Structure 1
Amino acid sequence: MQKSNSNSEDKQLTSRQTIFSMCGYLFLFLGMVLLDQVTKLWSEKAYLIESSLTNIREYTQTSNAIFHLESGLNWLHFDTTYVRNTGAAWGFMGNLPENIRPYFFYVLTSAAMIVILIFFFKTKSKLILTRLGIALIFSGAAGNFIDRVWLHYVIDWIHFSWNLFGWNYDYPVFNVADCAVTLGVTILIIETIIDEIRNRKAKKLAKG
């Protein structure tokens, strides 16, 4: 009888932990999407001067550097701006015909989000880092998907460029949603590396 009560208490505790964990991921998702949308709206209000009512590619914006690191090489520059990205990362496939482009990205992004969500729920709850990485990727995908549905383009506003040891590069403008996806992928890569190191150590110990 005592053992049965103990098992019941363990199940209740696990159930509570699962609920709290899911609430945490939900708040993370809502927070990242809200931050992404608010910063995009701020960018539009701050830097968009005028735009065409019929052509989303015709607009005029200004840029204001809010941080500039001076050095002998002037190696790093960061500013905020307003850019409409009609394609995927780096503007990929942004020049598709308008009767195809929005719907293509609707389907592509929806399918990707469904796969990510399935992967999240199939991942064991004890794999916290893995679930965190997936949740961040899903949050970023959702943030940009909202833009595509309502605007037919994605607003980007974070701009970096650098000149380091002769490497002069102007990085494509991005947003908070992109940061969430990048951070999520980085976490998954780190988790994979950690697991691989653990597995190799376990194999060595098994061999003696």
Structure 2
Amino acid sequence: MNQQSKTILKKAIIGILCSVILILLDQFTKHLAVKHLKDQMPVVLWKNVFELSYLENRGAAFGILQGKQWPLIIFTVIVLMIIIYLYLMRIPSEKHFGLLNVIAILFFGGAIGNFIDRVMQGYVVDFFYFRLIDFPVFNVADIYVTVAAILLILCLLFYKEEDFERILPAKKKK
């Protein structure tokens, strides 16, 4: 096995282990939500600010595409393939690119967490609700995706253009 294959295998193992932990945490919290919140009044943790409130989301983020399971499933599979490709083949393993590797794992864990619900149940279990700002109800997988998106924006602000060139080289003009 050559060095590049060893590096890819090591990244794959790390990515799988981290993703499994993230997915298990997400699925466990959703299990708890079903067990303790379904068909119950919301559990108020901070009056008029934050509560646990069970919701079956049959759409995507913020409830868009309600009831359109197949487009969501196809879109998720495409996104997952892109994440896997970028993580294993394009994002370097060097310490300098560690944050981008974490971002890929967070996006992957969040996408898979909600994908499991969507495929197995036809809906995603959401249960965190910020009443203060009337923010849409969300779950742990959504937190992974949101944190990954914020970190990606920070990377875009602080990484150099040549860093991104190493990941996605621009096509040279003839």
SS at match of 2:145: helix
What corresponds to 1:85 in structure 2? Answer: 57
Q: Distance in 1 between matches of 2:124 and 2:155?
A: 30
Mind listing any 5+ residue stretches in structure 2 that lack a counterpart?
A: 164-174
Cα distance, 1:191 vs structure 2: 1.7
Cα distance, 1:24 vs structure 2: 3.1
What corresponds to 1:68 in structure 2? Answer: 46
Deviation digits for residues 101-128 of structure 1, max 9, x if unmatched? 2222211111111111112122111111
Deviation digits for residues 92-147 of structure 1, max 9, x if unmatched? 010x4xxxx22222111111111111121221111111111011001100000000
| Number of residue pairs matched by the alignment | 159
2:20 to 18, 30, 36: 30
CA distance 1:79–1:18, shift in 2 (3 Å):
same
Q: Distance in 2 between matches of 1:185 and 1:139?
A: 13
Cα distance, 1:17 vs structure 2: 7.0
Note if 1:115 corresponds to 2:75. no
Cα distance, 1:68 vs structure 2: 1.2
RMSD: 2.4
Q: Where do residues 37-186 of structure 1 align in structure 2 (5 Å cutoff)?
A: 37-49=27-39, 61-65=40-44, 67-68=45-46, 77-94=49-66, 96=67, 101-121=68-88, 122-126=90-94, 127-162=97-132, 169-186=133-150
Cα distance, 1:16 vs structure 2: 7.1
Deviation digits for residues 36-65 of structure 1, max 9, x if unmatched? 00100100110112xxxxxxxxxxx42111
Q: Distance in 2 between matches of 1:142 and 1:125?
A: 23
TM-score of the two chains, using structure 1 as the length reference: 0.68
Q: Distance in 2 between matches of 1:44 and 1:81?
A: 10
Residues 142-151 or 122-131, more deviating:
122-131
Query: Is the Cα contact below 8 Å between 2:59 and 2:69 reproduced in 1?
Result: no
SS at match of 1:170: coil
Q: Which amino acid is 2:80 matched to? A: M
Mind listing any 5+ residue stretches in structure 1 that lack a counterpart?
A: 1-10, 50-60, 70-75, 163-168, 200-208
CA distance 1:105–1:16, shift in 2 (3 Å):
closer
Q: Distance in 2 between matches of 1:139 and 1:29?
A: 5
CA distance 1:188–1:41, shift in 2 (3 Å):
same
Deviation digits for residues 75-94 of structure 1, max 9, x if unmatched? x6111121000000000010
